[in-house]
Amino acid sequence: MVSRIFKVQCICGISNEDSAGCGGILRDIEGAARALFSSPIAANDVDSAEVGAVLLALEVFISLEWKINDSLFVEIGSKVVFNWCVNKSMGPWLLQSTFVDIERKIEKVGSVVFSMAKKKGNEMASTLAIAG
């Protein structure tokens, strides 16, 4: 079994009170896009939308059925959401069931590392979030 490293960039956006979307790009270690995703998402604020984007990114990665030795680096644009993902007890109680789902997905993936995304680091992922 070959060990591979993948990186997913999660982006979200809320255009008005009734419309939110998220999207992302799954890239291999060389930076080649391996999967794109976007989806509408139920969220009342940007941080909740980004948590949903993290969950969706994990679901997409798992659905691709790559080998267990694969590592996934998840880039998050929000410092608040990054802190919630690193220390789930800091997250709001309204999102606790989502964090439980995220933990279950992380167990399936194996190696998941969260990091902060660069500002304006990926316009394609931003476009996918808007299309979501």
Secondary structure (DSSP) of 88-104: GGGS-GGGHHHHHHHHH
User: What is the model's pLDDT at position 4?
Assistant: 61
| Domain at 7-131, CATH from 3.40.50.720, 3.30.930.10, 3.30.420.10, 3.40.1260.10 | 3.30.420.10
What span, in angstroms and rounded, lies between the C-alpha atoms of 8 and 10? 6
Looking at residue 22, its pLDDT comes to 82
Distance (Å, whole) CA 36 – CA 62? 14
Instruction: Write the burial class of residue 90 (CB in 10 Å: 0-12 exposed, 13-18 middle, 19+ buried).
Output: exposed
Q: How far is CA 112 from CA 62, 128, 130, in A?
A: 12, 22, 26
| Structure confidence at residue 91 (pLDDT) | 85
Domain parsing of the chain, residue ranges: 7-131
**What pLDDT sits at residue 82?**
92
Helix (H) or strand (E) holding 118: none
Its pTM stands at 0.79
In which residue ranges of the chain is pLDDT below 70? 1-5, 11-18, 66-69, 119-132
Predicted confidence at residue 34, as pLDDT, reads: 85
Longest dimension (CA), the chain: 46
